[in-house]
């Protein structure tokens, strides 16, 4: 009998779905905040994002099903054993994160962040010109479920969308033009909005650096709802202070939580949200995570193929 440790705030109907998929297993339900290292070490299967420090290469752990799309903390050598299978929750967050990114984009284009600041100062002031998605070229880095969902929304609003992938592929209908990462420097100067949905790994770290920000169009907007490590924070700050960026909005930062003394907090043309675009704030996300987890649990126990298996070399799903 396999022990399945579930680290999600599941309701009774969720438990029924999981236990039907994992018939014959012993289920233990805990929260991330209260689970013990002993419970983590005794589990053959974990559903949810366990503390990497509590796993530290557990020989018993056969499979870890994350409730997140990002997997970077679990790719560090020594966190998972060599035989542990890792899957993520790609497909659960497209709607929520893309809507958050869209809201941030519109907030920057319409300068709503400045009006919010003015309201706090009892200041009635016209902040001048704004821009529109319908007359914008939007560059989307990372065309997974989230990136494609964002691209579709921007295209529906009339934007011209350029998608960037690691390898050549057929251009998806959500974008107007598809290029590879090797061509990034060629297309950056064309973009009015640059949106990143990249995972965190060695290949993406500081892909947005001083040189890349310097190539962006004067007045461009930068949005990051992927991973903070893809951005050099000092370079972003300089690009916001000295140009070419008009503004930026980020849901992720290089260090999280962002230290209280970080100069990013005080940058007027930067909007920061504390990594809340996904998580479980939209109630239907939990339903979707449970569906993905249950389908994978049934497949795992029956020797079938798992969805969203993570490639340890890249951090992307295979």
Q: Which residues are catalytic?
A: 275
* Ramachandran area for residue 275 (φ above 0: left; ψ -120 to 50: alpha; else beta): left
Residues 219 and 248 sit within 8 Å (Cβ to Cβ):
no
Residues 284 and 34 sit within 8 Å (Cβ to Cβ):
no
Residues 242 and 217 sit within 8 Å (Cβ to Cβ):
no
Q: Most distant CA pair in the chain: distance in Å?
A: 67
Sequence-separated (6 or more) residues with CB below 8 Å from residue 235: 206, 208, 209, 210, 212, 213
How many angstroms separate the Cα of 168 from the Cα of each of 140, 171, 178, 180?
15, 9, 8, 6
Tally Cβ neighbours within 10 Å of residue 241. Answer: 13
Residue located via tokens 């050598």:
77
DSSP assignment, residue 218?
T
Distance CA 314, CA 318 (A): 9
Tokens encoding 251: 């849901």
Residue located via tokens 């890249």:
314
DSSP assignment, residue 309?
B
Tokens encoding 307: 């969805």
Distance CA 44, CA 66 (A): 14
How many angstroms separate the Cα of 57 from the Cα of each of 50, 98, 285?
12, 34, 29
């Amino acid at each position: 009998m396999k022990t399945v440790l579930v680290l999600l705030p599941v309701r009774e109907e969720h438990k029924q779905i999981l236990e039907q998929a994992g018939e014959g297993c012993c289920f233990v339900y805990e929260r991330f905040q209260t689970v013990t290292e002993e419970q983590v070490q005794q589990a053959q299967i974990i559903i949810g994002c366990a503390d990497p420090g509590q796993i530290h290469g557990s020989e018993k752990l056969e499979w870890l099903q994350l409730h997140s799309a990002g997997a970077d903390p679990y790719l560090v050598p020594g966190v998972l054993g060599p035989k542990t299978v890792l899957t993520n929750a790609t497909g659960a967050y497209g709607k929520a994160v893309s809507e958050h990114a869209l809201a941030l984009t519109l907030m920057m284009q319409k300068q709503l962040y400045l009006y919010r600041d003015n309201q706090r100062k009892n200041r009635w002031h016209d902040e001048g010109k704004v821009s529109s998605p319908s007359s914008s070229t939007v560059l989307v880095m990372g065309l997974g479920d989230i990136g494609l969902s964002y691209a579709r929304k921007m295209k529906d609003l009339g934007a011209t969308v350029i998608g960037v992938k690691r390898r050549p592929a057929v251009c998806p209908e959500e974008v107007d033009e598809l290029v590879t990462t090797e061509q990034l420097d060629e297309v950056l100067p064309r973009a009015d909005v640059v949106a990143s949905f990249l995972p965190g790994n060695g290949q993406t770290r500081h892909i947005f650096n001083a040189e890349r920000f310097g190539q962006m169009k004067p007045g461009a907007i930068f949005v990051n709802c992927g991973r903070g490590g893809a951005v050099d924070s000092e370079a972003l700050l300089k690009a916001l202070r000295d140009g070419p960026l008009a503004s930026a909005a980020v849901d992720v930062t290089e260090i999280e939580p962002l230290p209280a003394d970080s100069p990013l907090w005080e940058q007027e043309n930067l909007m920061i949200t504390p990594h809340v675009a996904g998580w479980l704030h939209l109630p239907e996300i939990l339903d979707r995570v449970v569906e993905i987890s249950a389908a994978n649990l049934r497949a795992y126990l029956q020797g079938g193929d798992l969805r969203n298996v993570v490639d340890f070399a890249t951090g992307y799903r295979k």
